[in-house]
């Protein structure tokens, strides 16, 4: 049975879907239809099960079922994109045990804009019950005590927002296990600025032909809810389970219908940013030490690239 040798490990809302889509167009690359199986973040499986008292989420837990996603593939690169592998404390180790020769791609984005976008995504998918970004940040101490989490978060720690910015710790888990030649870290802002340049660099990293050019259509633009009641029904865990088990013949088909049809009905584009400048500066000051650490790890001046060089410590 074919075994994946490429893992896009995160972050969510950092252009991972765009990269997944563009890579999947290449004739020498197969990206699985069920984009985010999250098979290797087994600590997340356990956290979710503890919170709900039963297996509410994460259908890909059996290795045979997981490998069936790649059955019969013969492309040079066979991959998947589970955006919470970076957040998981054990996914790097689990992936290495599974395939020590695998290639790893991570995308990271300026922390404040990323966190704001992540919160918005969690709101529209009914993961986050608090619609106000600043108030959601203020709830973190209570959430660490198990309060104000809501009934639909997959894992409570997903809503510990300040932990999500630990880029250095998250990336270092992979650098500590895999050879650096097997890891590519893409800065989201660079990818957005020049799709083709970063795409060709990624093809070169994967050792496939760089002659191919993908169709760089917009993917996952910022959205807001169009039909709130219908969204609540569609994203109810029971609805998900029924749809996956009885209405669709495969996880790939479910993901395709959800992404291409259902979400276009439920959501509408929203390009406005609603974060106040004072909150932005406050968070940038808070996250600056992390930006310095990850800059040193990657050998990239992210302080300057992201504008943190203008923020006093």
pTM given for the model: 0.87
Percentage with pLDDT > 90 across the chain: 73
Q: What pLDDT does 152 receive?
A: 87
Q: What pLDDT does 312 receive?
A: 84
pLDDT tens for 84-142 read 999 999 999 999 999 999 999 999 999 999 999 999 999 988 899 999 999 999 999 99
Listing DSSP states for the chain in one string gives -----EEEEE-TTSSHHHHHHHHHTSTTEEE-SSS----S-HHHHHHHHHHHSS--S----SHHHHHGGGTT---SEEEEE-TTTTT-SSHHHHHHHH-TT-EEEEEE--HHHHHHHHHHHHHHTTS-S---HHHHHHTHHHHTTT-S--S--SSGGGG-GGGGG-HHHHHHHHHTTS-GGGEEEEEHHHHHH-HHHHHHHHHHHTTS-S---------S--EEES-HHHHHHHTSHHHHHHIIIII-SSHHHHHHHIIIIIHHHHEEE-------HHHHHHHHHHHHHHHHHHHHHHT--HHHHHTGGGS--
pLDDT tens for 178-228 read 999 999 999 999 999 999 999 999 999 999 999 998 998 766 655 676 667
Tell me the CATH class for 6-222+271-310: alpha beta
Q: Where are the domains of the chain?
A: 6-222+271-310, 223-270
């Amino acid at each position: 049975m074919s075994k994946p040798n490429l893992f896009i490990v995160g972050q969510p809302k950092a252009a991972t879907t765009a990269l997944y889509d563009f890579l999947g167009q290449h004739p020498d690359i197969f990206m699985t239809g069920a984009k985010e199986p999250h098979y290797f973040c087994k600590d997340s499986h356990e956290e979710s099960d503890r919170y709900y008292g039963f297996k509410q989420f994460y259908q890909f837990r059996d290795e045979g079922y997981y490998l069936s996603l790649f059955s019969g593939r013969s492309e040079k690169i066979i991959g998947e994109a589970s955006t919470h592998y970076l957040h998981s404390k054990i996914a790097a180790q689990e992936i290495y045990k599974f395939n020590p020769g695998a290639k790893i791609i991570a995308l990271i984005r300026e922390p404040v804009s990323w966190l704001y976008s992540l919160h918005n995504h969690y709101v529209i998918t009914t993961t986050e019950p608090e619609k106000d970004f600043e108030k959601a940040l203020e709830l973190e101490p209570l959430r660490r005590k198990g309060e104000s989490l809501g009934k639909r978060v997959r894992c409570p720690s997903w809503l510990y927002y300040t932990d999500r910015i630990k880029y250095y710790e998250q990336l270092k888990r992979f650098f500590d296990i895999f050879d650096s030649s097997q890891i590519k870290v893409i800065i989201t802002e660079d990818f957005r600025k020049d799709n083709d340049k970063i795409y060709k660099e990624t093809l070169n990293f994967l050792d496939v032909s760089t002659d191919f050019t993908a169709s760089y259509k917009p993917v996952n633009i910022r959205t807001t809810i169009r039909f709130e009641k219908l969204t609540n029904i569609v994203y109810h865990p029971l609805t998900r389970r029924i749809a996956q088990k009885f209405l669709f013949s495969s996880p790939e088909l479910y993901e395709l219908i959800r992404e291409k049809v259902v979400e276009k009905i439920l959501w509408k584009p929203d390009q406005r940013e609603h974060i106040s400048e004072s909150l932005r500066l406050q968070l940038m000051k808070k996250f600056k030490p992390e930006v310095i650490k990850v800059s040193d790890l990657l050998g990239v001046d992210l302080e300057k690239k992201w504008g943190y060089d203008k923020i006093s410590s």
